[in-house]
């Protein structure tokens, strides 16, 4: 049976066509067609190199490049006929190129394999995706800096174990998320360096006998380095796993942020207001305003974690070099990148619109004896050992629980029953403002430090 009745790229070896179900089962074109732009980009660079190496004539190169550019226009106009029988994005484009320019189209694949072709396409695609994601991280950080600067003096309770711990400023709390996102940005920048290494030229697994010049395609495609081993070049998916690991950390951060936003918008906290455009209602409870964006981002984190686990499992048992298993790398990688990008975009749009309920936050900070540590520190400065101070303040808090009074609401006589070292000056440290202003060091919650951190943050973003 002729190759045309099986598959024009490899059908010569076979005596019967692939079963129709198997063809559908093994095809990847339904999801890898999104690589079309990068596949064409790689093919144009490959054709350019082949001409410089003397494998193609200038006329053949020009015909191939013109044909590929016309195919890209067809795809982007929605006029391209994607065929499952051609298996993947690569063969669909190559078959269409041959239809357009004849036998010259069949020369494009000289000196390469689908193995190094797909590895190149994925790296090119992921490189672009990382750039978009980095831009969204920066946009979200800009929103956090603006909010922190505006609300540097707004006081809220800080929590440990979800119990009121010490007063902090709202700006300081938001800058914690800025720091997390900075680490996410650093990880993805570093990951991009390892993504940006070129496998093209590895061919099927051993390299090629044609006189290719990999440095040319490396330069044309903007890669930072040429892959040093052909076996590794076609089978490596570390870069995809590393991206999913970095994406998982970023989604974990967004999920924690989401959890706080969900809590803060609840009637029990009522710390912030989210605009209606980021919320939905209930079909039967008309009073409901649900924080759907944070809830959904919190849920979507599991998809990205799953992509990481899936890719690790995919690769753990594979011998060198390329195996068909690797077809399963794309869907989880695509989904992880899409999910992270969209989650960051949603947060970058939403965060600048958050409105803190200043008085509610302040009242919450007044409850729960949030200045207890300040009283202990005050007594330490009077010369008492910290452990003794801790016990003294513990008794004061027990008294406050029994009488329903916060420390700042007690009279001097009430406070002095726990230590005669307490004087009139104690009330300066028991106020919320006194508490936050006292933490005036780098990384502290004092408004002056929040504003200084905002300046540093803006400088960091300006350097990117």
**Distance (Å, whole) CA 137 – CA 252:** 14
Alpha helices per DSSP H over 18-157: 20-26, 29-32, 36-52, 58-76, 89-101, 114-150
What is the C-alpha R_g of the chain?
A: 31
DSSP state of 153: T
Tell which phi-psi region holds residue 169, choosing left (phi > 0), alpha (psi between -120 and 50) or beta.
beta
Query: Contact, 417 vs 405, CB < 8 A?
Result: no
Point out the catalytic residue in the list 282, 283, 343, 411: 282
Query: Contact, 98 vs 106, CB < 8 A?
Result: yes
**Distance (Å, whole) CA 224 – CA 219:** 8
C-beta atoms surrounding 191 within 10 Å: 20
DSSP states of 156-179 as a string?
Answer: EEEEETTEEEEEEEHHHHHHHHHH
Q: Give CA angle at 159 (154, 164), nearest 5°.
A: 90
| 370 included as an active-site residue | no
Strands 163-169 and 155-160: antiparallel
Query: Contact, 278 vs 352, CB < 8 A?
Result: no
**Distance (Å, whole) CA 153 – CA 237:** 48
| 185 included as an active-site residue | no
**Which of 250, 235, 245 has its CA nearest to residue 308?**
245
Q: Give CA angle at 143 (139, 145), nearest 5°.
A: 115
C-beta atoms surrounding 351 within 10 Å: 22
In the three-class reduction of DSSP (H, G, I as helix; E, B as strand; rest coil), residue 424 is classed as: coil
**Distance (Å, whole) CA 31 – CA 29:** 5
Q: Give CA angle at 88 (84, 89), nearest 5°.
A: 115
Point out the catalytic residue in the list 161, 185, 202, 230: 161
Residues composing the chain: 464
For residue 168, the cross-strand partners are 156
- Where in the sequence numbering do the catalytic residues fall? 161, 282
């Amino acid at each position: 049976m002729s190759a045309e009745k099986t598959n024009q790229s490899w059908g010569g070896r076979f005596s019967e066509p692939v079963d129709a179900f198997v063809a559908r089962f093994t095809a990847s074109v339904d999801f890898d067609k999104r690589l079309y732009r990068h596949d064409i980009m790689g093919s144009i660079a490959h054709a350019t190199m082949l001409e410089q190496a003397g494998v193609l004539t200038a006329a053949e190169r020009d015909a191939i490049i013109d044909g590929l550019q016309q195919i890209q226009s067809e795809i982007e106009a929605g006029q391209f006929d994607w065929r499952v029988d051609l298996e993947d994005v690569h063969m669909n484009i190559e078959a269409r190129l041959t239809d357009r320019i004849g036998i010259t189209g069949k020369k494009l694949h000289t000196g390469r394999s689908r193995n190094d072709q797909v590895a190149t396409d994925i790296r090119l695609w992921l490189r672009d995706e990382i750039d978009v994601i980095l831009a969204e991280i920066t946009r979200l950080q800009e929103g956090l800096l603006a909010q922190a600067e505006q609300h540097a003096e707004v006081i809220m309770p800080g929590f440990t174990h979800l119990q009121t711990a010490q007063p902090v400023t709202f700006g300081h709390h938001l800058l914690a998320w800025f720091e997390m996102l900075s680490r996410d940005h650093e990880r993805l920048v570093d990951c991009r360096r390892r993504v940006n290494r070129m496998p093209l030229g590895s061919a099927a697994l051993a390299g090629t006998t044609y006189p290719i010049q990999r440095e040319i395609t490396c330069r044309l495609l903007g890669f930072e380095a040429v892959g040093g081993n052909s076996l590794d070049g076609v089978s490596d998916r570390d870069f995809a796993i590393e991206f999913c690991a970095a994406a998982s950390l970023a989604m974990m951060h967004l999920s924690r942020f989401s959890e706080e936003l969900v809590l803060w918008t609840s009637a029990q906290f009522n710390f912030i207001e989210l605009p209606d455009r980021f919320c939905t209602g209930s079909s039967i409870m008309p009073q409901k305003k649900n924080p759907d964006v944070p809830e959904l981002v919190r849920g979507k984190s599991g998809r990205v974690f799953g992509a990481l686990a899936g890719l690790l499992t995919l690769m753990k048992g594979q011998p060198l070099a390329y195996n068909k298993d690797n077809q399963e790398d794309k869907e989880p990688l695509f989904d992880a990148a899409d999910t992270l990008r969209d989650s960051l975009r949603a947060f970058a749009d939403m965060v600048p619109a958050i409105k803190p309920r200043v008085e509610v936050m302040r009242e919450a900070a007044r409850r729960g004896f949030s200045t207890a540590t300040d009283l202990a520190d005050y007594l330490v400065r009077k010369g008492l050992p910290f452990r003794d101070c801790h016990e003294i303040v513990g008794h004061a808090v027990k008294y406050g629980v029994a009488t329903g009074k916060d420390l700042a609401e007690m009279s001097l006589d009430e406070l002095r029953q726990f230590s005669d070292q307490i004087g009139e000056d104690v009330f300066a440290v028991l106020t919320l403002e006194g508490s936050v202003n006292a933490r005036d060091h780098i990384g502290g919650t004092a408004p002056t430090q929040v504003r200084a951190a905002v300046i540093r943050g803006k400088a960091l973003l300006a350097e990117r």
